[in-house]
Structure 1
Amino acid sequence: MKRISITGGTGPATALTLVEAPDLEPAPGEVRIRVRAAGINRPDLLQREGRYPPPPGAPETLGLEVAGEVDRLGDGVTGVSIGDRVCALLGGGGYADQAVVDARHLFPVPDSLDFVTAAALPETLSTVFANVFEDGRLQAGDTLLVHGATSGIGVTAIQMARAAGARVIATSRGKAKADAARALGADLSLDAQADDLEAAIRDAGGADVILDMVGADYAALNQSVLKPGGRWCVIATLSGASAEIDLLRLMMKRIVLTGSTLRSRSADEKARLIRAVRQTAWPWVVSGQVRPPIDAAFALSDAGLAHLRLEAGEHIGKIVLVVD
């Protein structure tokens, strides 16, 4: 098999190298996937830099989501056949032409969905569902505020919230990104570089749920614009992890503050989450309501260039590796 190895330094140009490795064999309960495409996610950058080590038992190879065909079954696997088109949530190992995964962590890929788009879904869809719909309890008629709205997570959250019948307020940096978020379905799309975010969100009625990837810089804003009983869901801290929280305001407004990661969850918990996603959100994918835009696709050997694109922060949607 071929896979990307972290071979030296932290910069993508020097750190990510295509190497050959022994073929993978699925353990009992696992399947092997002939990978056709792999999604790029911000945790991949952190792992490359040595700041996000894989959990015990996970592959050292980068990559948290893939799409392709099942080409080998481990003992005891049922309900899956060789040749099935699938995408999968991984604990690691996606930057390769083979991946093994717990058979419970698969999503079926319909014929109407290409592998590049399918590879952009498992990690993203699962993250949004776990935080916005489970922890955040977003309902039809609620207002979701999405910070970082043109990231891979952000564009998916916009589409999922709209599919569920919620309103969406989006924040992003620059007019082009604000226009893109609006085109994806945001009811109100704000430019963080030009607009008065607090005033605009308050004028729009505030937010029932916030999906926050920014962290410290927006902590005061979030506490201000959340409605009574609002849910503030933190999944990244791009502007810093230390923030001042007004506990009295949280008490008076009955704000619920949650935070989570996905990769470190147990195999059983991921299986439970994926069952829930397949039941509630996967039909939105099949119907075409949720199809995150692909910003760029790179060859597997150009994984370093894909990381540079993500680090630059100019992307709108998902960045994907294509495996030939």
Structure 2
Amino acid sequence: MKAVRFRTPGGPETLAVEELPDPRPQAGEVLIRIAGAGLNRADSLQRLGRHNLPPGASEIFGMEVSGTIVEAGPGIDGFIPGDQVMALLASGGYAEYVAVSVGHVLAIPKGIGLIEVAGVPEVAATLVSNICHTGRFAPGETVLIHGATGGIGVFGIQLIKTIGGRVAVTASSDTKLEVARRLGADILINYEEEDFAKRMLAEGGADIVLDTVGGSYLAKNIEALAPFGRIMTIGMQGGPSGTLNFAALMKKKASVSGTLLRDRSPEQKTAIMAGVNRLVLPFLTAGAIRLITERVYPLSEVAAAHAHFETKAHVGKILLDCRQTD
């Protein structure tokens, strides 16, 4: 099969499509002929040599895919060859085939495109695990999302509104904030022109902060919280460390959690994907959540896709068509 790896850490130009052996499904796994694969921040970090793979994970890039089951390993119930599915992976998605635990696979809702749904598993699993599970979201609460127009932002705005929340977002331009407004965001903050913490306090504070920035935002995130607020840190674009003011945290009876999805145990991922199936897929089926795709690149143009991703100018997901390998 054709698959994407890299020989040395560096820029997008280090990515190469190579010929590798086809995977074989083991007990409890299905083999998927991949149609689409989603790009994620961890893919860029892996390419730069800044993201360690979980034990046993393939060096092939890609953490979310869509496609068609072509073979089922022993002990599989619920899926058969020919079923169209999406899947959450530790790695292996930038390829023609992948073998994956059946617990990390979901059927594609009717009416959703086979390629565009490749951008759902990682984003939906991140939101469900952080907002609904660990974050203990309750209807009526306010969620602040840093980054209005990336994959997490555009999907998160719609999901949180659909389950009864109020959404605040930050972005670097009014153009991006207008996209967020059209998707349903209630509070729009241009962080180049406005102190997001002061604005959030004026709006009653955030019950949950979904934070992709990390260290440099820690103090401001705490300041932005409502009493009993929760900070869910899922990225470190602003650095891995910051100063934690325990007095400020304790005064708000608040909490800070840091999570990674990629290295969670298979059992934890199965539980998270069950949550996606229960909490997200019905809204996709009903059309309450729209999938927003910036662009689809052929697998053979993976370097161009990564270069586009790193401009941070995209709205929604950037995807690969893994059927186009030449």
TM-score (norm 1): 0.97
Equivalent pair of 2:196/2:224 in contact (CA under 8 Å): no
Cα pair 1:63 1:92 within 8 Å, conserved: yes
* Worse overlay, 126-135 or 290-299: 290-299
Counterpart in the other structure of 1:139: 138
Separation in 2 of the partners of 1:198 and 1:127?
24
Q: Give distance in 1, aligned partners of 2:93 and 2:302.
A: 11
Deviation track 1:13-64 (CA, whole Å, cap 9, x = no partner) reads: 1x11111112221111100111010000000011111111221111110000
AA partner of residue 3 (structure 1): A
Matched residues in 1 for 2:227 and 2:5: separation? 48
Do structure 1's residue 212 and structure 2's residue 214 form an aligned pair? no
Residue of structure 1 in register with 2:288 after alignment: 289
Q: Judge conservation of contact 1:2–1:19 (CA < 8 Å) in 2.
A: yes
Corresponding residue number in structure 1 for 2:46: 47
> Any unmatched runs of 5+ in structure 1?
none
Tell me, in whole angstroms, the C-alpha distance in 2 between the residues paired with 1:20 and 1:290: 37
Letter in 2 for 1:202: L
Q: CA RMSD of the aligned region, Å?
A: 1.2
The residue that corresponds to 1:36 in the other structure is 35
> How far apart are 1:9 and its partner, in Å?
4.5
Measure the CA separation in 1 of the matches of 2:109 and 2:283: 12
Correspondence for 1:270: 269
Aligned twin of 1:102? 101
Three-state SS of the structure 1 residue aligned to 2:270 is helix
| Contact 1:29/1:74 (8 A) holds in 2 | yes
Paired residue for 1:152?
Answer: 151
Q: CA offsets, 1:142-192, max 9 Å, x none? A: 000001121111211111101111000010111111111111110111111
Q: Does structure 2 conserve the Cα–Cα contact (< 8 Å) formed by 1:126 and 1:273?
A: yes
Tell me what 1:127 maps to: 126
CA contact (8 A) 2:216 2:241 kept: no
What SS class does the counterpart of residue 237 from structure 2 fall into?
A: coil
Secondary structure of the 1:270 match is helix
Count of residues in Structure 1 that have an aligned counterpart in Structure 2: 323
Q: Secondary structure at the match of 1:312?
A: coil
How far apart, in 2, do the equivalents of 1:7 and 1:217 lie?
A: 32
Matches of 1:232 and 1:179 in 2, distance apart?
Answer: 25
CA drift of 1:291 comes to: 2.6
> In structure 2, how many angstroms separate the alpha carbons of the residues matched to 1:242 and 1:54?
21
Give runs of aligned pairs for residues 219-258 of structure 1, distance below 5 A.
219-258=218-257
Query: Aligned partners of 2:67 and 2:148: how far apart in 1?
Result: 28
Distance 1:138 1:116 in 2: 30
User: Which is worse superposed, 194-203 or 105-114?
Assistant: 194-203
* Runs of 4+ residues over 6 Å off in structure 1: none
After TM superposition, the structure 1 stretch with the greater mean CA deviation from structure 2, 193-202 or 245-254, is 193-202
Structure 2 unaligned spans of 5+: none
Q: Which moved more, 1:229-238 or 1:309-318?
A: 309-318
2:160 corresponds in structure 1 to 161
- 1:280 is matched with which residue? 279
Q: Deviations over 1:83-112 (max 9, x none)?
A: 001000001000001111001111110230
Q: For residues 9 and 146 of structure 1, what CA distance do their matches in structure 2 show?
A: 30
Paired residue type of 2:255: V
Give 2:17's aligned residue. 18
CA contact (8 A) 1:69 1:83 kept: yes
Q: What per-residue deviation string (whole Å, max 9, x for no partner) do you get for residues 263-321 of structure 1?
A: 11111111111112211222112212223311111110111111111111111111110
Structure 1 contact 148–214 (Cα < 8 Å) conserved:
no
Q: Give the equivalent residue in structure 1 for 2:307.
A: 308
CA distance in 2, matches of 1:52, 1:198: 30
Distance 1:9-1:260 versus aligned 2 partners, 3 A rule = closer
Percent identical among aligned pairs is 38
CA apart distance, 1:216: 2.3
Inter-CA distance 115–264: structure 2 relative to 1 (3 Å threshold): same
The corresponding residue for 2:3 is 3
SS of 2:310 mapped into structure 1: helix
Given that residues 152 and 292 in structure 1 are in contact (C-alpha distance below 8 angstroms), is that contact kept between their aligned partners in structure 2? Answer: no
Q: CA deviation at 1:225?
A: 1.5
Amino acid corresponding to residue 27 of structure 1 in structure 2: Q
Change in 2 beyond 3 A, CA 1:54/1:9: closer
Q: Is the 8 A contact 2:109 2:284 kept in 1?
A: no
Q: TM-score, normalised by structure 2?
A: 0.96
* SS at structure 2 position matched to 1:115: coil
